[in-house]
């Protein structure tokens, strides 16, 4: 690689900022606060930092390695992976893979994030070799590339869905569902009885996408008892895959169970029924329910509540009973009531679809249309930096 004249402090700043911006993007990409424009602005800044690193040659690689030595975490590994993939250098990729192996799943996720930003033509030769590798981690990375770029592995996908490593099977099932590979439905149904909850969840989503939702629903119910599965994800899939009346009945059952009340409350907005608004406002007045009620409220309306005064990141402003709540932002119940009562709010605002709402819409659309592949809801919009 050509050695270039660089300013070390600037190169270091690019490496630090790229790691931070990717970490923030990853935290918000499926969340209820930002939309595709907000994420797009993060992407523009992130791309600018990465371009600065790409142009800095070996100085950038040295800076990224130094940061990873000091902070051996996924964001720092992401930066290293972006550089290695951009330059298509085997020796640097080998070091990235070695570091990822030490981090486990978070390491694979870091490389996956870098792959998502790498053009197909730079990945094509690598992916073929990664799929053929005997290492489960490399197969997972290959599947991450196929997922991000919505590419089909053909007959090999069936082999990967039957691989001896659960991590590989999970990613293969996820891809099979997204691409509507109905020939792999038998394997998805078989893995509904897998030993690992994550694999059963992946198989459940794949089964729902492959028109076998009724078979998957009881499995989703069972998964709510597992502490290593986020209940919110199960609730989302379960509600979207159910018929209207049965979904409401099932959700009410969750609200009646103490252990499921919080995630059930947070999911009440998924069904889009605004008749629950008065009830939801009352839940906002309860410290144990306020955060979940706020999440449900955001799901009900296509409004950017970041531009209103309905939420706060300072729980103490809601009163002493709320002061120790660590989750935020939290809603002001009285302001939410006034917003709803005075003209019923939504019509006064520009339409806003959060990244979470786009995710839910993509899943819902695929559930409703058997021939529609699962859309990449993580699209962003780019604008000049001064806008």
Q: Is the pLDDT of residue 87 over 50?
A: yes
Q: Is the pLDDT of residue 3 over 90?
A: no
Prior bond to 86 cis, omega within 30?
A: no
Q: Which candidate, 171, 207, 167, 205, places its Cα nearest to that of 187? A: 207
Q: Which residues of 346-361 are buried (b: 16+ CB within 10 A; e: fewer)?
A: eeeeeebbbbbbbbbe
Report yes or no on 275 lying in a domain.
no
Q: How many residues does the chain have?
A: 387
Return the pLDDT at 243: 75
The model carries a pTM of 0.91
Report yes or no on 330 lying in a domain.
no
- Report how far residue 97's alpha carbon sits from residue 89's, in angstroms, rounded to the nearest whole number: 12
- Report how far residue 368's alpha carbon sits from residue 360's, in angstroms, rounded to the nearest whole number: 12
Residue 280 in tokens: 């939801």
Contacts of 90 (CB under 8 A, 6+ apart): none
| CB 280 within 8 Å of CB 293 | yes
pLDDT per position as a tens digit, 120-178: 999 999 999 999 999 999 999 999 999 999 999 999 999 999 999 999 999 999 999 99
Return the pLDDT at 346: 59
Which H or E run includes 311?
A: strand 311-312
pLDDT per position as a tens digit, 17-30: 999 999 999 999 99
| CB 302 within 8 Å of CB 353 | yes
Return the pLDDT at 347: 64
Return the pLDDT at 182: 96
Question: What single-letter DSSP state applies at residue 118?
Answer: S
Report yes or no on 37 lying in a domain.
yes
- Report how far residue 387's alpha carbon sits from residue 374's, in angstroms, rounded to the nearest whole number: 31
Residue 224 in tokens: 């709510």
First-to-last C-alpha distance (Å) of the chain: 37
Report yes or no on 73 lying in a domain.
yes
Return the pLDDT at 121: 94
Return the pLDDT at 386: 43
- Report how far residue 133's alpha carbon sits from residue 142's, in angstroms, rounded to the nearest whole number: 10
Report yes or no on 94 lying in a domain.
yes
Return the pLDDT at 255: 96
What does pLDDT average to over the chain?
93
Report yes or no on 60 lying in a domain.
yes
Report yes or no on 235 lying in a domain.
no
| pLDDT band at residue 378 using 50, 70 and 90 as cut-offs | confident
Return the pLDDT at 385: 47
**β-bridge mates for residue 337, sequence order:** none
Report yes or no on 32 lying in a domain.
yes
| pLDDT band at residue 50 using 50, 70 and 90 as cut-offs | very high
- Report how far residue 265's alpha carbon sits from residue 296's, in angstroms, rounded to the nearest whole number: 7
pLDDT per position as a tens digit, 304-355: 999 999 999 999 999 999 999 999 999 999 999 999 988 666 567 889 999 9
Domain coverage including residue 61 = 1-118
Residue 314 in tokens: 């300072």
Q: Hey, is 143 helix, strand or coil? A: helix
- Report how far residue 15's alpha carbon sits from residue 82's, in angstroms, rounded to the nearest whole number: 11
| pLDDT band at residue 382 using 50, 70 and 90 as cut-offs | low
Q: Please report where in the chains the tokens 């020939």 appear, as a residue.
A: 183
Q: Which candidate, 278, 243, 275, 270, places its Cα nearest to that of 357? A: 270
- Report how far residue 288's alpha carbon sits from residue 352's, in angstroms, rounded to the nearest whole number: 28
- Structural domain count, the chain: 1
pLDDT per position as a tens digit, 279-305: 999 999 999 999 999 999 999 999 999
- Report how far residue 147's alpha carbon sits from residue 200's, in angstroms, rounded to the nearest whole number: 19
Return the pLDDT at 61: 97
């Amino acid at each position: 690689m050509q050695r270039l004249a660089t300013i070390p402090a600037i190169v270091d700043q690019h490496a630090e900022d790229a790691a931070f911006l990717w970490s923030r993007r990853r935290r918000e990409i499926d969340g209820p606060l930002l939309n595709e424009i907000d994420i797009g602005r993060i992407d523009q800044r992130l791309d600018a930092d990465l371009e600065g690193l790409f142009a800095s040659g070996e100085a950038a690689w040295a800076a990224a390695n130094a940061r990873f030595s000091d902070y051996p975490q996924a964001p720092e590994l992401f930066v290293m992976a972006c550089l290695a993939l951009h330059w298509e250098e085997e020796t640097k990729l080998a070091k990235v893979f070695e570091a990822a192996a030490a981090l486990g799943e978070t390491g694979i996720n870091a490389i996956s994030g870098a792959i998502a930003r790498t053009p197909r033509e730079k990945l094509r030769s690598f992916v073929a070799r990664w799929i053929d590798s005997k290492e489960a981690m490399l197969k997972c990375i290959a599947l991450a590339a196929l997922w991000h770029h919505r590419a089909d592995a053909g007959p090999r996908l069936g082999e990967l869905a039957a691989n001896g490593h659960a991590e590989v099977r999970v990613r293969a099932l996820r891809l099979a569902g997204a691409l509507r590979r109905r020939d792999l439905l038998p394997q998805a149904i078989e893995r509904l009885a897998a030993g690992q909850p994550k694999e059963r969840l992946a198989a459940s989503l794949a089964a729902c996408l492959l028109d076998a939702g009724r078979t998957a629903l009881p499995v989703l119910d069972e998964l709510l008892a597992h502490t290593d599965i986020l209940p919110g994800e199960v609730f989302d899939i379960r509600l979207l895959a159910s018929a209207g009346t049965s979904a409401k009945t099932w959700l009410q059952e969750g609200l009646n169970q103490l252990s499921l009340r919080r995630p059930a409350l947070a999911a009440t907005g998924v069904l889009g029924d605004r008749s629950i608004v008065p009830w939801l406002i009352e839940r906002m007045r309860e410290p144990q329910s306020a955060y979940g009620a706020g999440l449900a409220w955001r799901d009900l309306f296509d409004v950017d509540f970041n531009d209103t005064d309905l939420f706060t990141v300072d729980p103490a402003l809601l009163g002493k009973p709320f002061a120790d709540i660590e989750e935020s932002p939290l809603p002001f119940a009285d302001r939410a009531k006034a917003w709803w009562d005075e003209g019923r709010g939504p019509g006064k605002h520009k339409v806003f679809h959060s990244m979470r709402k786009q995710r839910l819409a993509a899943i819902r659309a695929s559930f409703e249309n058997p021939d529609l592949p699962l859309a990449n809801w993580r699209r962003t919009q780019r604008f000049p930096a001064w806008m």
